[in-house]
Structure 1
Amino acid sequence: MKSETKLARAGLMLGGSAAAMLFAAPALAQVAPQEGVVAQDAATPADAIVVTGTLIRNPNLVATSPVTSVTSEELQLRQTNLAEQFLRELPGVVPSLGSAVNNGNGGASYVNLRGLGANRNLVLLDGTRIAPADLDGIVDLNNIPIALIERTDILTGGASTTYGADAVSGVINFITKRDFSGLEATASNQITERGDGNVFRIDVTVGANFDDGRGNAVFSVGYQEADPVLQGARDYSVENISSYTGLAGGSGTTVPSRFTGLGLGDNQQIDPATGALIPTYAQFNFNPQNIFQTPFERFNMFGSAWYELADGVEVYTRGLFSKNTVQTVIASSGTFGNTVTVPFSNPYLPTAARNQICAAQSISAADCAAAAAATDPTNPAYRTFQTNAFRRFVEAGPRLSTYTTQLFDYQAGLRGDITDGIQFDISGSYGESENSQRQSGNGTLTRVRQATLATNTETCLDDSNGCVPLNLFGPAGSITPDQLGFLLGVTNGTITKTSLAQARGVISGDVGFASPGAETPVSFALGTEYRKYQAQVISDELTQRPDEVLGNGRASPDVSGGYDVYEGFVELIAPLIEDRPFFNSLTLEAGGRVSHYSTAGTNWTWKAGGSWEPTSALKIRGNYQKATRAPNIFELFQPNVRDLNNLTVDPCQGPGVQPGTPLGTVCAAQIVAGGATQAQANALLGNIPTPSAGQINTTIGGNADLDVERATTWTIGAVIQPTFFSGFSASIDYYNITIKDAITTPTIGDALSACFTPLQPATSAACAGIGRDPVDGSLNGTASGLPLPYSNLGRLMTDGIDVVLNYRRDLGFAGLALSFNGNWTNRNKFQATPTSVNRECVGFYSVNCESIQPEFSFNQRTTLSFGAADVSLLWRYIDGVKYEPLALADDIAAADGDETAGPLERFRTIGAEHYFDLTTRFGVTENFDLTFSVLNLLDNQPKVVGANIGSTAYNSGNVYPSTYDALGRRFAVSGRVTF
């Protein structure tokens, strides 16, 4: 049934796209191109210098891989400010880290083509790599110079043979204007209907041809600033909503403080009225302090030049510099279940709470009173107790992380003619990126423990560093400025440095002869390439210590690593038959690359493809490739660290888990592994709390033994330009990508299911690897949590269909331009290990399926041109999605088969979404134009699904803000002056 539904959807996509494009009558005359999203074969100029997908520089040949291009005109109509923004809205691209991600954003923006991971697609600038942003080797899209982009090519399927590793799922190639001459200045401003989220951008570009056209130089400088949009400023995200109860909820790290591990049963929270410990009654609503649009500031410069030294010999150069600052704003820090030791004589400990704790620990009333009076540790009556404390430092405001990235990348080269038909191109480049993170508002665990271990309000037992005793037991406002000054009196930060040095030499052209059935000569490219990656993380001492920086997620130990690669490659395009009946052309394409990595040894990639044009109106094309990806520096060298991820239901939580039962035996063994005795572990069973704020600890780290992952990719499709339908062009392509030996980590569901579904012995590797907190038995606090190691045991697979349609005609009173770009994703399967679930994430969302990938999506643009004025409507469609069935099954299993378990029914689906953006552009004078846009014209609001149904980075503010517009209707205006 499901396969029939998918086939029906594919048919609907084709039929719907045809209907969207073909409602106009046959063309009377073709109007001037109104560029948008086009298939490269159908609409890109034939003399384009850069042909994405091949290194053969023959303008008469087009590679067989499908390439979709987004033109500069389209970016102007979209009022695009960042490359990540328009890429994440394209069909077939799954939103990755970007401006809508707050908790989990490291100051960079990425692209995730086909949903296979941002580390499996390659980002190029004019066909050349630039310095990556992090240890994963991924390019930060914040550094792409939008003002000088001529077009953006997106190639489907593997391209490792042409560009080397990382191009498993495809390539995004930003191509700049080569011969810009004159001056162009653009200023734009964008603001939401609600008056927030203002974005200002200005770019100035100047260029000139010189020496009678023998050279050209261009220089562009830009500035951009974006203001934040708080989640508390939108009705649907003011309160943190539980996906499982529908009630206002939030974090268990709250105020007044919550305590676990006291032997008092359920989680205990201080009652401000009586000072007694009572079952938890108030969670912390962290939404208002979080944001939907990260504050952003960027300065960027780009310059390029070329000069013809002699006939057929040209020197060229390109330089890029960017400095951008991204700030994330996360709710107040605190002690997130950290274990603290508290004297019974702590001056802030309420009497009622003290008496309860004494009773739970079988301390008599007389001894309890004596302990309350014993302020000197040498006093025999002096006693302490341990607890996991959950208390927000709301008095300090939010946590701020400021990421400042500086990147420069420089390239120089020489190219020219060896003979009339053979050219050479020799180039070298070097780039560096430095990302500096500074954090504030966190506090440190050492100082909390020092300040809690106090027996008076003036000094701590250890006051060597000016310690101020901390009141963990009072309501909001009870932590004084002096106490905060001590807790927050230290700052912390991390610097991530990366560099990429590369050199390449290519000889390309034609071999001087053609096949017997063709006139166009066989063309080739062969060459060699060298790349050296280096990266390091330098952290201060606080940031390196596990759990030391409160609310910081994982520690950031120093990391240093690198590798280099030597490669040789060859490509061939051979026209076999031309200008014959039923064979307007028949072309073969092939290529191979050998790569030697200092970390992964020698491996081969190759490709074979071809195209057949029975007539000039139809081209059928196909391509088959064997691609590889070598492990990156993070996957190889990152030390094991504790991280955070989402989980709402812990299989060991609740009163039903008791000692002696099979489940109780497994849970107790995991608590013992965390540092408790068997007796302590048994005592905790039945009282293990639910994950705090829907988050648990995990352990991640690199693996120096990783090998390359290997992919098989193939595409088959057609390009149609019918002679009887002037102005119309279309391309349809099926893609299939399968990756084996994939470098992956298990999902949360995988790690839990391996132990608990079905239940395995406590000594099994899957169960023994899980570490729990020794004080309360949870997966929070000091727990090592779920192990999520890297391995080559994974397998990924995706396939689908891309459709691109374009139509232009003259209506007499106006010019009409229509474009359609659609994607149908059939499957996206992920299996972390051979024994893991082969998980399907197309059309589903959960903690296992991070960023939403709809089954069907499209962009359709309609533009009417009235002389110097254009009116354009962009229609963006996202198919409906639902809660992952396997995640629901896990929820039910964790609830002992309760069919009502899991998220509420109303949160289990997100309906299909339609967005409309209306743009009007006026040519006020020959040198000045204005563009006005209303984005999200109908002010669509995102579907609320609660705050803990998906992963932290993408399920934020009760919605999925990277996929669905969380800002609402926005107004944008830009002005452009050209000379």
Structure 2
Amino acid sequence: MTNIFRGRLLASSLLVGIALVASGAAQAQDAGQISTPNGAAPAGDQDATANGGDIVVTGTLVRNPNLVQSSPINSVTSEELQLRQTNVAEQFLRELPGVVPSIGSSVNNGNGGASTVDLRGLGDNRNLVLLDGQRIAPSGLSGVVDLNNIPLALVERTDILTGGASTTYGADAVAGVVNFVTKRDFSGVEANISNQITQRGDGNVFRADLTIGANFGDGRGNAVFSVGYQQADPVTQGERDFSINNIDSYTGLPGGSGTAVPGRFTGLGLGANNQIDPVSGRLVPTFALFNFNPQNIFQTPFTRYNMFGAAHYEVTPGIEVYNRGLFSRNTVQTVIASSGTFGNALTINYSNPYLPAGARGQICAANGLTVAQCNAAASAAPGSADYRTFTTNASRRFVEAGPRLSTYTTTVFDYTAGVRGDITDTIGFDFGGNYGESENVQRQTGNGTLTRLRQASLATSTTACVDPSNGCVPINLFGDAGTITTDQLGYLLGVTNSTLTRTTIAQVHGVLNGDFGVSSPFATQAISFALGAEYRKYTAAVISDELTQRPNEVLGNGAASPDVSGQYNVKEAFGELIMPIVEDKPFFHSLTLEAGGRVSDYSTAGTNWTWKVGGSWEPVRSLKIRGNYQKAARAPNIGELFSPLVTGLGNSANDPCAGAGVTAGSALGGVCAAQIVAGGGTQAQANALIGTIPLPSAGQVNVTQGGNAALGVETANTWTIGAVFQPDFVRGFNISVDYFNIKVRDAITSPTVGDVFSACYTPLQAATSAACQAVSRDPIDGSLNGTADGLALPLSNLGRIATDGIDLAANYRTDMGFAKLALSFIGTWTNSNKFQATPTSVNRECVGFYSVNCASIQPEFSFNQRTTLTIGAADVSLLWRYVDKVKYEPLALADDIAAGGGPLEQFQRIGAEHYFDLTTRFGVTDNFDLTLSAMNLLDNKPKVVGASIGDTAFNSGNVYPSTYDALGRRFAASARLRF
């Protein structure tokens, strides 16, 4: 009810602005020229204003459009978004050089309902997302912004500043800033409608937006209001030939999950005999893994309703009040293969009516029962002397129930208001506040609960359980597909579960900026400054139902979700200077220096300082050399501080202790046995399991991780140096090149799965070492699945991250008489991106590599190049997107070889990829234009590398769908009406 009330209140407030629209709508503003792929005009050379009025300059709080910055900024204009037929912000951001694909519409298993951006591959929690230079309500415990809620219909441009910006914006801006700048003085009516569909007739995406704005009060004010709707259909992996079957990256054979049909039962002392043969009823070596691909999806279903409104009014000369409101409600659904019992420890009676006689005889023999004892136990009732049970890790997929559905409904409310104006002719002020909140409700269906499964596994007949409470219905875990009945599913799956995540941000800020009225003796422009203070308070809470909070209770749900609540606040003071030193002198067309500092007092992490120095030098008008050095910082977020320890899932297709090649008398066998004992087994049980431990199910292992209240601030040194060349002898041409270098110290990190394996097994350490004690195994079958705590991945401030590379941008525009030609290029070469979780961990390089340790692909080189030809009122534009070749991580391959194998050679390399998107836009009338596009024009298919070679979120359907297009050729049409 709270959110509904706030939504209605916001809508009512924004409609007041609409009421101010004059009865005769004015002509909508001109949208400007077609942009380059990311607006490669260098910072300071682009128009710093959002259509006049208040200046929005990304990277500084100094409001002087005549002063240039030392930080390189790339921009994506609204016209570029129209050419790309972009529907959500995450979609175009992940295609840009320098951005590594993060959670978004192409992530199914691992998508929590929010889309995020990852600059430079440093993590989505190390960059800041702003709207008109202000923070907005974050999503989830990590404090990142959900890009699904950005109102693209009103975005004038998107500025992307890479490199530290903590001095200007505070914590989190370690890798940089993404700032969505909205249209300030929109006047008129604009309606947009678009539709996309793949060549194969699926994946339909529909979007509609209506924007109304007007100036009023003799031009002293403006109000704008925009509403939008969007809906996207799913595309299943079963609808593409390269993903319909799960492929094992290590064998090249059909793979899948060990939680299969018929069921698999381990820990029975039968060696490799663990899957039920539906014909003989005996346990035989595994012959059928479960192909989960067809039920999984490449494009998540998405529905969004959003409203955005803004208004400003000059109440007196030089004093303006302003406000901005955002309301969005979106629903993301993930579809994951059928639930099951994923290696859960079950106690089953020998007299279970569904237990085949052949399997019963094998289990009896393995447990030392005579034939007579076994026969007696087969018909014994509970309480009798002959009644017996056995315990096993059961893995049976409930295909009869269909897929698991997780529906994430996110409601975001964000409101800003303030007053700004002039104190003197050269000094102004801005004082404002903001409150925002995000509420994400996750509802899951199709899972089942462990308590009911354990109750249903102990049966006296096909209709009666040993414990008949709750209307228990016995379950048939031993049959082939179709043998679990509707009644059995009704009991097992009759409980739904949900989790609510709520976050808020409250902030207030005050800024004085302008110039001192004095200048350098060698310059005419005055020294400009900004001084201010800011207060922010964050809260976050996770509230789950009782089932979701219990470890392993919700079948197939990964980690439990216990309740979490936390908050912190920060008080900050900051200042910036931009100082023109020399102007219009020989070899010094301009020389400008800038500096800034910020002190931040966190309620959780204490006091921290950040600062920056930089400058730009133009020896001549056409050449600018610029550089910037910053000390940035990031405070631990609420999740990193307060999340309790939980056991969830990580990725690994290998386990050094798995397989018949490990013997009980070997050094490795001794370590593996000790880890089974640490998981709760006896020494005798552990010794007996060595040589029979199964490989990780579906390439996933249990991992245990959580927050750390002792975490402190991580710091970073970032610097850039580059040049911009705009030769007078080639009109319409500019080129910029910038080197970036980011080093994060005391990084808040946890080890990778590969780090834990390497620390213990390569070379082999003693069982009593801390490295080997970080691995705990299931006591029943010795695996890293089931009830095992698995691998310990603790958070600490011991990490180090370092990346560097070069950005190159070039633009050329010319009028050829019969047509206008626009060429643009933006590319990023990343030299290195190294991550070391602790001083003793591997210093891991992930540029150009993929594996379970390098989650999302970061190519060494990538670029966007656009060519646009304008003939009259028609534009024909071709976008060329390039992704460099990548290969399997060498360190991961070394670990695989040490464990006895590695991915097939054919899966260890992905060649360079070229995508071409062709767009034609027609200005049908002065007020109406039509845009037609063909994306992935050549219908390139992604390179198949198998399903067990990388992280589940990004290696899905045998490919990497967030980096390489899995949908194929797509067609889009959009119409825009303006008046």
Aligned match of 1:67: 73
Alignment of 1:156-305 (within 5 A): 156-305=162-311
Aligned match of 1:316: 322
Deviations 1:463-505 (A, max 9, x none): 1100000000100000000000000000001000000000000
Deviations 1:808-838 (A, max 9, x none): 0001110001110100000000000001110
Pairing 1:549–2:554 present = yes
Structure 2 residue identity aligned to 1:437: Q
Q: Tell me how far apart the structure 1 counterparts of residues 421 and 700 of structure 2 sit (CA, whole Å).
A: 58
Structure 1 residue identity aligned to 2:353: P
RMSD: 0.9
**Offset at 1:770?**
1.2
Q: What SS does the corresponding residue of 2:951 show, helix, strand or coil?
A: coil
Q: Tell me how far apart the structure 1 counterparts of residues 144 and 68 of structure 2 sit (CA, whole Å).
A: 28
Aligned match of 1:343: 349
Identical aligned pairs, as a percentage? 74
Aligned match of 1:404: 409
TM-score with structure 2 setting the length: 0.96
Structure 1 residue identity aligned to 2:582: I
Pairing 1:712–2:717 present = yes
Aligned match of 1:88: 94
Aligned match of 2:43: 41
**Offset at 1:685?**
0.6
Pairing 1:468–2:470 present = no
**Offset at 1:390?**
0.4
Q: What SS does the corresponding residue of 1:512 show, helix, strand or coil?
A: strand
**Offset at 1:46?**
4.8
Aligned match of 1:499: 504
**Offset at 1:427?**
0.7
Q: Tell me how far apart the structure 1 counterparts of residues 110 and 47 of structure 2 sit (CA, whole Å).
A: 41
Q: What count of residue pairs does the alignment treat as equivalent?
A: 943
Structure 1 residue identity aligned to 2:737: I
- Show structure 1 runs of 5+ residues with no match: 1-30, 896-900
Alignment of 1:869-884 (within 5 A): 869-884=874-889
TM-score with structure 1 setting the length: 0.96
Aligned match of 1:538: 543
Alignment of 1:381-396 (within 5 A): 381-396=386-401
Aligned match of 2:531: 526
Aligned match of 1:793: 798
Q: What SS does the corresponding residue of 1:553 show, helix, strand or coil?
A: coil
Deviations 1:786-826 (A, max 9, x none): 00010000000000111111110001110001110100000
Q: 2:331 aligns with which of 325, 329, 340?
A: 325
**Offset at 1:729?**
1.2
Aligned match of 1:116: 122
Deviations 1:570-618 (A, max 9, x none): 0000000001011010001000000000000001000000000011101
**Offset at 1:43?**
4.8
Q: 1:457 aligns with which of 446, 452, 462?
A: 462
Q: Tell me how far apart the structure 2 counterparts of residues 957 and 649 of structure 1 sit (CA, whole Å).
A: 19
Deviations 1:815-868 (A, max 9, x none): 001110100000000000001110000000000000000000000000000111
Aligned match of 2:150: 144
Deviates more, 1:719-728 or 1:73-82: 719-728
Aligned match of 2:573: 568
**Offset at 1:657?**
1.8
Pairing 1:888–2:898 present = no
Maintained 8 Å contact 1:42/1:719: no
Structure 2 residue identity aligned to 1:80: T
Structure 1 residue identity aligned to 2:137: A
Maintained 8 Å contact 1:42/1:729: no
Structure 2 residue identity aligned to 1:742: A
Q: Tell me how far apart the structure 1 counterparts of residues 403 and 659 of structure 2 sit (CA, whole Å).
A: 32
Q: Tell me how far apart the structure 2 counterparts of residues 47 and 965 of structure 1 sit (CA, whole Å).
A: 36
Aligned match of 2:132: 126
Q: Tell me how far apart the structure 2 counterparts of residues 232 and 203 of structure 1 sit (CA, whole Å).
A: 33
- Show structure 2 runs of 5+ residues with no match: 1-30
Q: Tell me how far apart the structure 2 counterparts of residues 74 and 194 of structure 1 sit (CA, whole Å).
A: 26
**Offset at 1:719?**
1.3
Structure 1 residue identity aligned to 2:101: P
Q: What SS does the corresponding residue of 2:526 show, helix, strand or coil?
A: coil
Q: 1:727 aligns with which of 725, 732, 735?
A: 732
Instruction: Evaluate the alpha carbon distance shift between residue 849 and residue 205 of structure 1 in structure 2; reply closer, same or farther with a 3 A threshold.
Output: same
Aligned match of 1:699: 704
Structure 1 residue identity aligned to 2:378: A
Deviations 1:148-188 (A, max 9, x none): 00000000100000000000000000000000000000000
**Offset at 1:261?**
0.4
Q: What SS does the corresponding residue of 1:116 show, helix, strand or coil?
A: coil
Maintained 8 Å contact 2:705/2:792: yes
Maintained 8 Å contact 2:49/2:57: no
Q: Tell me how far apart the structure 2 counterparts of residues 541 and 550 of structure 1 sit (CA, whole Å).
A: 14
Pairing 1:689–2:689 present = no
Maintained 8 Å contact 2:592/2:616: yes
Aligned match of 2:935: 935
**Offset at 1:47?**
4.6
Instruction: Evaluate the alpha carbon distance shift between residue 397 and residue 47 of structure 1 in structure 2; reply closer, same or farther with a 3 A threshold.
Output: closer
Instruction: Evaluate the alpha carbon distance shift between residue 509 and residue 586 of structure 1 in structure 2; reply closer, same or farther with a 3 A threshold.
Output: same
Q: Tell me how far apart the structure 2 counterparts of residues 802 and 968 of structure 1 sit (CA, whole Å).
A: 29
Aligned match of 1:8: none
Q: Tell me how far apart the structure 2 counterparts of residues 346 and 907 of structure 1 sit (CA, whole Å).
A: 45
Q: What SS does the corresponding residue of 1:486 show, helix, strand or coil?
A: helix
Alignment of 1:639-788 (within 5 A): 639-788=644-793
Q: Tell me how far apart the structure 1 counterparts of residues 499 and 49 of structure 2 sit (CA, whole Å).
A: 47
Q: Tell me how far apart the structure 1 counterparts of residues 899 and 165 of structure 2 sit (CA, whole Å).
A: 43
Deviations 1:759-793 (A, max 9, x none): 11111111112110000000000000000010000
Alignment of 1:427-438 (within 5 A): 427-438=432-443
Structure 2 residue identity aligned to 1:802: D
Structure 2 residue identity aligned to 1:457: T
Q: What SS does the corresponding residue of 1:522 show, helix, strand or coil?
A: strand
Q: What SS does the corresponding residue of 2:333 show, helix, strand or coil?
A: strand
Q: Tell me how far apart the structure 1 counterparts of residues 844 and 902 of structure 2 sit (CA, whole Å).
A: 18
Q: Tell me how far apart the structure 2 counterparts of residues 431 and 481 of structure 1 sit (CA, whole Å).
A: 45
Instruction: Evaluate the alpha carbon distance shift between residue 613 and residue 43 of structure 1 in structure 2; reply closer, same or farther with a 3 A threshold.
Output: closer
Aligned match of 2:586: 581
Aligned match of 1:372: 378
Pairing 1:843–2:845 present = no
**Offset at 1:459?**
1.1
Aligned match of 2:15: none
**Offset at 1:199?**
0.1
Q: 1:490 aligns with which of 492, 495, 501?
A: 495
Structure 2 residue identity aligned to 1:255: V
Alignment of 1:46-57 (within 5 A): 46-47=48-49, 49-57=55-63
Instruction: Evaluate the alpha carbon distance shift between residue 42 and residue 939 of structure 1 in structure 2; reply closer, same or farther with a 3 A threshold.
Output: farther
Q: Tell me how far apart the structure 2 counterparts of residues 146 and 479 of structure 1 sit (CA, whole Å).
A: 48
Q: Tell me how far apart the structure 1 counterparts of residues 68 and 497 of structure 2 sit (CA, whole Å).
A: 52
Deviations 1:680-727 (A, max 9, x none): 111111100111111100001000000100100000011111111100
Deviates more, 1:386-395 or 1:33-42: 33-42
Runs of 4+, deviation exceeding 4 Å: none
Q: What SS does the corresponding residue of 1:664 show, helix, strand or coil?
A: helix
Maintained 8 Å contact 2:325/2:414: yes
Structure 2 residue identity aligned to 1:259: F
**Offset at 1:33?**
3.8
Instruction: Evaluate the alpha carbon distance shift between residue 264 and residue 506 of structure 1 in structure 2; reply closer, same or farther with a 3 A threshold.
Output: same
Q: Tell me how far apart the structure 2 counterparts of residues 313 and 363 of structure 1 sit (CA, whole Å).
A: 91
Q: What SS does the corresponding residue of 2:598 show, helix, strand or coil?
A: strand
Q: Tell me how far apart the structure 2 counterparts of residues 513 and 43 of structure 1 sit (CA, whole Å).
A: 24
